[in-house]
Structure 1
Amino acid sequence: MHEDRRSAPTGRVVGLTLAALLVVAVCAGLGVWQWHRGNVVVSEPPARQPVVPVSRVVDAGGTGADRILSADEVGHRVEVTGTFDPAVNLLVPGRALDGVVGSWVLGVVVLADGSGVPVVRGWVPTGQPAPDLPPGAVDLTGVVQPPESSDIAPSTSALPAGQTWIVSAADLVNRVDYAVANAYVTQTTPAAGLKAVPPADAGQATRRLDLRNLAYAGQWWVFALFAVVVWFRAVRDERRGGGQDDPDEPAPGTDEGPVNDAGGRDMSGAR
């Protein structure tokens, strides 16, 4: 009875298996790493990001009323440096704060580049006039908010001079002769006589797919699969080759009969 060499792995098969496991582990690990790098890129929520100059978030001069804020720009804390336009000191009626209806106080800060940024300076109760604008240069902080649309206005009736229903560049460009940002800033620390208006939209973190890193992840996993296929074929060929190397088995295609005690061929059955 001949020993079946395929019942136990040879040293070559063991070596091939260990090499394949190493390659698969490395490729799979690199693929997972690339997946984490490319699956999502998460930015911090705007409220947790550092205060930056308003021009880095809102570009009035470059895009004007066509500018649309992205999700990670809304709610961003910004610094606004410039001077209030003395011709724009408006009340926005019908705005509630802590359950009391009153008005927002709206101004426009003119920046160094000549463009304007609407600033909600604060809130006053109904019937109270807007406080005077601070003279000279101002340096204030606030939160960027998207412009309001006309459909949120509580009424379409005409308002007295010095009032407007919404905060929008589309309205303000009819009052000034310079570009106005299509956004507004709620002042964090208002002047005396005003209450701070909390931002309605705090913004959100952004999530973006990085297709290049995702493609790299797929590449590494294909390499791992290829290594498995190569290992399988190599082991299969090794086992097949090992089965034909048994010296006690006749080569395929021979018809030699049994050998007698004298070493010659037994011809007793030949006719």
Structure 2
Amino acid sequence: MKAAAFAYARATSVVNALDLLAAHGEKAKVLAGGQSLMPAMNLRLVSPDILVDICGLAELRGVAVRGDWLVIGALTRHAELQQSGDVARHARLLWEAVAHVAHPAIRNRGTIGGSLAQADPASELPACMVALGATIVIRGPGGERRIAAIEFFKGIYETALLPQELLVAVEVPIAIAGSTHFFQELARRHGDYAIIGLAAHAVVEDCRFADLRLCFFAAGDRPVLVRSARKLVDRIVTSAAVTETVAALLEELDPLEDQQASPALRRHLANVLLRRCVATLLSRPELDTGADR
């Protein structure tokens, strides 16, 4: 299929892009890489009246360290994240996860802002932002506002972004001493959409978790930050504690059913990933037991 007819405007600045969005509102879509948007348009899943192309706005591209934050421009491409020494040093979880985003051709064009604004629940980067406690920076007619990643994602392809607003950057806290991470997704083939995945950020002190943020993706209608992870913080982690946490996790998750997997399969795989994650982060392979594999 081909996309329905639409108008096209190439923004010359962020201000110009905001003017265009203000003029067209919900009838406009922002083109920020287009690796998800263009297929959706070709399938007539979305049919905007106008595309506002912001791909040429250099002011929205790049990675910089500012104080205790790693600031990433919305138009920074996935491939640029992979090549960034600052991302590799200060947000290793994100650096590792990007390699799982589709294929090189997609990573060469797709952008972090486009991925976050798309809010696909099976996408890797939204889960990483939630696990890392990142802040989404949004600009609109009223100026700039910041919103925590956990509050930004509202549902399937739904965010807190208003039609007249533009996602301009992401602020990621720089990793502190003792920080570690885990990332793994289960897919039929590398580059396919995940059946389920887990992005985790932790602080380990004296072989215990001082902090633990577990965020599942492809496990619901948005990234799922697991409340039951608190059961493993500030205590000696035993096999019984992991089993208790898994039981709470399975009550907490409400996975969707699709052509890839049933909710029961996703719950089972979440069990596997949580145990694997805890064993890896604490370097205690004996904790990766008890899952019915």
TM-score, structure 1 as length reference: 0.20
| Bigger fraction of residues in helix | 2
| More contact order relative to length (CA 8 Å, sep ≥ 6) | 1
TM-score, structure 2 as length reference: 0.19
